[in-house]
């Protein structure tokens, strides 16, 4: 193991311990009562907030209580039901297709392996890890969402930007039994402290071991040019002064004006 890898592994261990101490109860923020509900909620959560998704799924799961109900829904009606989540046409299509596949291929039960889950329509590796880790207590991988991507980079735990490569970098750094809890804690920390645009580095309990502490700053806002108020005294004085100055004659009028030629007056 290289010196760099040794340092990264030691830092990851320290980060994991501190996160566990600060956020011992961190969990998935999506509301669910079973694996299927979490699967649907995670699909709908793309490009939306968990708070918004929890509002939508509260009534959605009452209307469609199981995979069979989702599979039998019409596209138009489902679009109306999930409209508040954004990108509702694609999401409606995805949850219906995913539910049909679960009913037809798995007897209405959410499959328990990452290979079977990622074979379902609309389900990627991140979604599969969310469901397996939080609803089935199966540590198949590490959840890599936008928060985990950002924080793992800032903490120097990976140099990659591709989610699957980041996951492969993180898995050897954290004990397998803690993969899901580690990701949940990173996500919580990313939402409240290590935010995207202006991280709260001075308040962060990881700032003494974070290579990016105090280096990530909000880009300075360029000052906008301020136009003079036409009613301001300064601009009024400027116009008055200009109007008081004699204007220079234009070249076309600079010639001496002569009377038109005519007869000489008679004596």
Token pair for 126: 């991140």
Give the count of beta carbons closer than 10 Å to the beta carbon of residue 88.
Answer: 17
Q: One of 126, 162, 165, 214 is an active-site residue; which one?
A: 126
Distance between CA 77 and CA 127 in Å, rounded?
Answer: 24
- The residues, ordered by sequence, that sit 6+ positions from 146 with a Cβ below 8 Å of its Cβ are 190, 196
Q: One of 91, 100, 145, 169 is an active-site residue; which one?
A: 145
CB of 96 within 8 A of CB of 61?
no
Whole-number Cα distances in Å, 102 to 5, 105, 129: 41, 5, 17
Q: What is the number of residues in the chain?
A: 267
Whole-number Cα distances in Å, 254 to 21, 145, 244, 246, 248: 89, 77, 21, 15, 9
Check if 145 is active-site: yes
CB of 155 within 8 A of CB of 211?
yes
Q: Select from 143, 115, 177 the least CA-distant residue to 38.
A: 143
Whole-number Cα distances in Å, 237 to 175, 227, 242, 243: 75, 16, 8, 10
Check if 208 is active-site: no
Q: Which residues are catalytic?
A: 126, 145
């Amino acid at each position: 193991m290289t010196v760099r890898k040794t340092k990264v592994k030691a830092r990851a261990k320290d980060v994991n311990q501190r996160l566990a101490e600060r956020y011992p109860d961190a969990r998935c923020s999506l509301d669910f009562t079973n694996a299927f509900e979490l699967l649907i909620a995670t699909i709908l959560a793309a490009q939306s907030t968990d708070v918004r998704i929890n509002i939508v799924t509260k009534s959605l799961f009452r209307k469609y209580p199981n995979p069979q109900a989702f599979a039998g829904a019409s596209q138009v009606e489902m679009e109306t039901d999930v409209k508040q989540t954004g990108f509702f046409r694609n999401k409606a299509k995805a949850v219906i297709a995913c539910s049909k596949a679960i009913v037809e291929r798995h007897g209405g039960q959410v499959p328990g392996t990452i290979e079977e889950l990622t074979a379902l329509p609309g389900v990627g590796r991140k979604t599969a890890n969310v469901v397996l880790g939080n609803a089935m207590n199966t540590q198949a991988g590490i959840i890599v969402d936008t928060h985990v991507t950002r924080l793992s980079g800032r903490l120097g735990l990976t140099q990659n930007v591709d989610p699957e490569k980041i996951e492969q970098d993180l898995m050897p750094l954290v004990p397998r039994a803690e993969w899901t809890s580690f990701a949940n804690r990173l996500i919580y920390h990313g939402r409240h402290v290590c935010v995207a645009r202006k991280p709260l580095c001075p308040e962060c309990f990881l700032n003494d071991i974070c290579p990016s502490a105090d280096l990530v700053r909000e880009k300075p806002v360029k000052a906008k040019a301020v136009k003079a108020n036409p009613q301001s005294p300064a601009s009024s004085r400027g116009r008055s002064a200009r109007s008081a100055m004699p204007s220079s004659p234009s070249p076309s009028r600079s010639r001496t004006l002569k009377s038109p030629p005519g007869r000489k007056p008679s004596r």
